Amino acid sequence: MRVTQGTFSYLPELTDEEIGLQVAYALDRGWPCSIEFTDDPHPRNTYWEMWGLPMFDLKDPAGVLLELNECRKAYPAAYIRLNAYDARYGRQTTALSFLVQRPAEEPGFRLDRAEGSDRRIGYTTHAYAADRPQGERYR
């Protein structure tokens, strides 16, 4: 099952050149970029690991791509996303966030139903990959 999170997730994978163009767009608007990775892509897991600090004062996407490739080398089987933060007063939020790497095999999610009193049902999504310990979930 293909995880669809963030911008562009219904499109074919972006090439490095296309990622560079998106980063250039963000930098032109003064949004600093940051790189994050995880092996727990549950939709409610908003806190991914940071790959270094957010990159401030960059003018050119080459610097972001350099870090991205470093991160890919270190975690070849993790989900990696690229965030661009708009610090403008009145917005102060992530303006653009998209996946730039995903594992080769994505087992997907199981839907658990918990029956409660009065025929109520609680639903939980559970990543198959999360059954294995951290670091061994995708390879």
Partner 1 sequence: MSGFAMRNGSPATPGEPSPAEAAPATLPPDARVDLARERAESHADEVLDALDSELIGLVPVKTRIREIAALLLVDRVRGRFGIDSGRPSLHMCFTGSPGTGKTTVAVRLAELLHRLGYIRKGHLVSVTRDDLVGQYVGHTAPKTKEVLKRAMGGVLFIDEAYYLYRAENERDYGQEAIEILLQVMENSRDDLVVVLAGYKDRMDSFFSSNPGMSSRIAHHVDFPDYETAELEEIGRLMTAREGYRLAPETEPVLRDYLERRRGQPRFANARSVRNAVERARLRHASRLVAAGGEVTREDLTTLRPEDFLASRVFTA
Q: Which residues bind partner 1 (CB under 8 A)?
A: 7-8, 11-12, 14, 18, 21-22, 24-25, 28, 52, 55, 57-64, 66-67
DSSP three-state, residue 62? helix
Q: Which is nearer to partner 1, 33 or 127 (by Cβ)?
A: 33
State the minimum distance, in angstroms, from the CB of residue 35 to partner 1: 12
Q: Which is nearer to partner 1, 60 or 105 (by Cβ)?
A: 60
Comparing CA positions, the residue from 28, 25, 109, 19 lying closest to residue 72 is 19
Q: Which is nearer to partner 1, 96 or 127 (by Cβ)?
A: 96
Buried b / exposed e over 64-88, threshold 16 CB at 10 Å, is bbebbeebbeebebbbbbbbbbbee
State the minimum distance, in angstroms, from the CB of residue 139 to partner 1: 29
State the minimum distance, in angstroms, from the CB of residue 18 to partner 1: 5
| Rounded Cα distance, 66 and 134, in Å | 26
For the chain, the first-to-last Cα distance in angstroms comes to 16
Q: Which is nearer to partner 1, 10 or 123 (by Cβ)?
A: 10
